[in-house]
Structure 1
Amino acid sequence: MARSRVLSGPVERTRFLGGLTGAAATLGLTACGVNGSDGTTPDGGSQEPSGAATRSVETDNGTVQVPREPKRVVVLENYDALMLLDLGLVPVGIPDGAANPQLLPRDVYEQLKDVDTIGASGTPNSQAIAALKPDLIINQFYKEKSAALRTIAPVAFFDWHTSGAFWNEQIAKLATAVNRESRLGERKKEYESRVTEVRTTYRKQIDTTTWAPLSGGPNGKFFLGTPLVTVMRDVGLRIGAGLPEKEAGFVPKSYEEMDVLKDCDALIYSVQADGRATPTTQQLLDHKLWKGVPAVKAGRAFPSKHFVMANYSFAIAAVGEIEEMLKKM
C-alpha cells in the first residue's frame, strides 16, 4: 500500500483535532522511571516487584521496560487516543477537548466522552495524570513536557513532531508498544480488503481521472494535500495539482494560484464530523475563484469527513467516501 508523509500544516490539524500540533512519526519511547526486578520472563521481559510482567522495547531513546499488557494508558495528544481506540484500548486519560462531538465520529466520541482529562495538549498536568494511576503514558509531540512524568509511569515518546514519518507506520509502532499487533493486523487486513474491492469495481473511473485534496487556510490561502492522500493513492487515484509524489502536504497556495487545480477532474475538501466545513474552508468554498474551477463547475468537488488520517478506522471510512465519489464520476 502507498504511504503518505505529513510534512507540515499544524493549522489544519489543530482545527480538526482541537489542539494537535505535529507532523507524523517513527516510534520512540523515553527512558522510564520503572526498573525491572529479579527474574526474567521467557521472552526476555522482566518481572516487577508487584508481579506484573514487563517487556523490553527498543525506542528512539534506548531500551525501556513497558508493561506486557498495558491496561491504564494516558495519552498526551488526540491522535494518540484515536490510535489506541483502533487497537481496542480506551485510554484512561486524554487532553482537554479531545472528546468533541463536532470533530469526531459518533462512535469515537461515545468512547471518549467520559474519559478523564489531563490538561490541554502540550501542557500535561502531572497531578491529574498521577491520580489516574497509569501503567503507561503515550507522548508523540512533547518530549520535554513529558520528561517529568517518568516518575509516574513509563513514558512512550513518539517523535511525530519532527521526524515526518507515516501514520500507518506510526500506529504499527504504537501497536508494538501496547502489545496489540494482532488487533492491528485485523484492522489493516480489513482496510486492504476494502481498497481491493473499490479498485476492482471502479477501475475505469480510477484510471481516467485526476484528483486533489484541499482545505481552506488563513489569510486568503488554501492547503493542497492531506494524509488522506495515503488512502487516495492506495485506491489508485492519480493525484494532480502538482503535489509531490509520495508526499501529502499541506502545501500552502494563495487563492490567486487556484489555477493549479485545472488539471483535476475531481476535488476532495475537508469537513468536520458533523458535515460542516471549518470557517476557513467555507471561505474557500464561497470564493468566486473556487466556483470557477472546472471540477467545481462540473459538480465534482466532494466533502470528506476523514480528511486527516488517524487510524485504520478512519482509513476504511475514507475508502467508503471515495467509493461514493467514484460512483458519481
Structure 2
Amino acid sequence: MTRSHVLSGQVERRRFLGGLTGAAAALGLSACGVGESGSEGPDGGPTAPSGAATRSLDTDNGTVRVPEKPERVVVLENYDALMLLDLGLVPVGVPDGAANAQLLPPDVYAQLKDVDTIGASGTPNSQAIAALKPDLIIDQFYKEKSAPLKTIAPVAYFDWHTSGSLWHQQIAKVAKAVNRESQLAERKKEYERRLSEVRTAYSKQISTTTWAPLSGGPNGKFFLGTPLVTVMRDVGLRIGAGLPEKEAGFVARSYEEMDVLKDCDALIYSVQYDGKATPTTQQLLDHKLWKGVPAVKAGRAFPSKHFVMANYTFAIGAVDEIEAMLKQL
C-alpha cells in the first residue's frame, strides 16, 4: 500500500469514529495555561505529589515517569477513550464529540456523555486539561500538540498515526500505561472464546467464501478495508478484492473500479450505531454499479456497526455481527 493510502486511511478512520469532529483540522496549540500547573520536575514535567509511587514507562516520545496506577487520565482522541473503557477506567477528559450516540453502543455512550471535554481532536485546550488535574495524558495521534502538555501531567505518546500498528497492539500499550494489563487479558480471553465458538460452528461457510469490507468515500470513491478486517481474519474469513495481506486499509477505489468486488461472495459495509449509513456510504449503496455487484445481487451485502476497531468490546461485537451474517449463507 502506498503512503498516500495509509495517510488517507488514518484521517478517514478518525473521522468515522469521531463523527464531525474526529478529523478536525490540526490547529496550533494555545499557549495559554500550558505551564500553569505548578512546579516542574527535572525533565520539564510536573513533579509527582509527595509520596506518590511512580514508575518508568517507555513511550514513542522517550521514557516517562508516570503514576504507579493512574486514575485521572485525559485522552486526546476518541480511540484512547474507548481503549480506557475496555480496561475499566473512565477518562476524566475527552475530545469534543467523543460521546456520540450515533456511533457508540448505549452503555458506552452513557459512560462518556457527562465526561468533561478538552477541545476538538487535534486541538487540545491546555487550560481545560489543567483544570481537570490529570495524573496522566494519553495521545496516539498528535505528537507536536501533546508534547507541551507535559507541564500539566506526564504524557504517554504511542504513535498510531504513522506506525502502521493495529488496534490490538495499541490497546496493549495503553493498558501498560495505566497499569491495567490484567483487565486487558480478561477482555482478550473473552474475544478469543467467541472466535473459537464461531470458527467451530460455521467452519464450512468460513472455508468456502471470500469477503471484503468497504465504506463510501468522497468524490465518487469508496474505501476497501478497515480495522474490522483484523477481526474478519481472526474469524478465519478469506479476504478478497485485492486487499493486501496483513493490512487493514483504507484503499481508495473509484466507482468505476467496483468490479474488483467480483471475487467476493459476501461484503460488509459500514453503518453508524443507529443503523444508518453515513452520507458517502449511502451514495455508494444507491449507485447502479454497486447494485450490479454479484454479492449485492445475491443479498450478501451486510451492514456492520463495528466497522472501526478500538477495543476488544468492539471486536467482540464485530464477531457477533459476523456470526449473524454467516447464519444467512
Structure 1: distance between partners of 2:157 and 2:13: 23
Task: Give the partner amino acid of 2:14.
Answer: R
Higher relative contact order (CA 8 A, sep 6+): 1
Question: Larger deviation: 109-118 or 63-72?
Answer: 63-72
Structure 2: any 5+ residue segments left out of the alignment? 25-38
Please name the residue that 2:14 is paired with: 13
Please name the residue that 1:286 is paired with: 286
Please name the residue that 2:64 is paired with: 64
What is the CA RMSD across the aligned residues, in angstroms? 1.6
Structure 2: distance between partners of 1:272 and 1:243: 23
Question: Larger deviation: 151-160 or 203-212?
Answer: 151-160
Q: Rate the CA distance shift 1:73–1:275 in 2: closer, same or farther, 3 A.
A: same
Task: Give the partner amino acid of 1:146.
Answer: S
Task: Give the partner amino acid of 1:7.
Answer: V
Structure 1: distance between partners of 2:180 and 2:152: 23
1:227-306 matches, within 5 Å, as: 227-306=227-306
Cα shift readout 1:178-218 (whole Å, capped 9, x = no counterpart)? 00000000000000000011000000000000000000000
Contact persistence 2:64–2:155 (CA under 8 A): no
Q: Rate the CA distance shift 1:256–1:80 in 2: closer, same or farther, 3 A.
A: same
Q: State the shift of 1:58 in Å.
A: 1.7
Please name the residue that 1:155 is paired with: 155
Give the secondary-structure state (helix, strand or coil) at the position aligned to 1:7.
helix
Structure 2: distance between partners of 1:175 and 1:35: 25
Q: State the shift of 1:11 in Å.
A: 2.6
Give the secondary-structure state (helix, strand or coil) at the position aligned to 1:65.
strand
Structure 2: distance between partners of 1:302 and 1:158: 34
Please name the residue that 2:135 is paired with: 135
Task: Give the partner amino acid of 1:106.
Answer: P
Contact persistence 2:136–2:153 (CA under 8 A): yes
Contact persistence 2:17–2:78 (CA under 8 A): no
Contact persistence 1:7–1:248 (CA under 8 A): no
Structure 2: distance between partners of 1:94 and 1:156: 15
Cα shift readout 1:77-116 (whole Å, capped 9, x = no counterpart)? 1000000000000000001111010111111100000000
Q: State the shift of 1:20 in Å.
A: 3.4
Structure 1: distance between partners of 2:161 and 2:255: 28
Structure 2: distance between partners of 1:172 and 1:12: 19
Contact persistence 1:267–1:295 (CA under 8 A): yes
Please name the residue that 1:97 is paired with: 97
Contact persistence 2:138–2:155 (CA under 8 A): yes
Task: Give the partner amino acid of 1:51.
Answer: G
Structure 2: distance between partners of 1:215 and 1:275: 14
Q: State the shift of 1:61 in Å.
A: 2.6
Task: Give the partner amino acid of 2:149.
Answer: L
Structure 1: distance between partners of 2:40 and 2:68: 13
Q: State the shift of 1:144 in Å.
A: 1.1
Structure 1: distance between partners of 2:236 and 2:18: 27
Paired-residue identity, % = 81
Contact persistence 2:81–2:90 (CA under 8 A): yes
| TM-score normalised over the length of structure 1 | 0.89
Contact persistence 2:22–2:97 (CA under 8 A): no
Contact persistence 1:34–1:154 (CA under 8 A): no
Please name the residue that 1:79 is paired with: 79
Structure 1: any 5+ residue segments left out of the alignment? 1-5, 23-32, 37-46
| TM-score normalised over the length of structure 2 | 0.89
Please name the residue that 1:40 is paired with: none
Task: Give the partner amino acid of 1:286.
Answer: D
Contact persistence 2:93–2:129 (CA under 8 A): yes
Q: Rate the CA distance shift 1:70–1:49 in 2: closer, same or farther, 3 A.
A: closer
Task: Give the partner amino acid of 1:251.
Answer: V
Aligned residues: 304
Please name the residue that 2:323 is paired with: 323
Cα shift readout 1:271-310 (whole Å, capped 9, x = no counterpart)? 0011000000000000000000000000000000000101
Cα shift readout 1:9-65 (whole Å, capped 9, x = no counterpart)? 21343033233359xxxxxxxxxx9649xxxxxxxxxx9452111111122232211
Q: State the shift of 1:7 in Å.
A: 3.2
Task: Give the partner amino acid of 1:151.
Answer: T
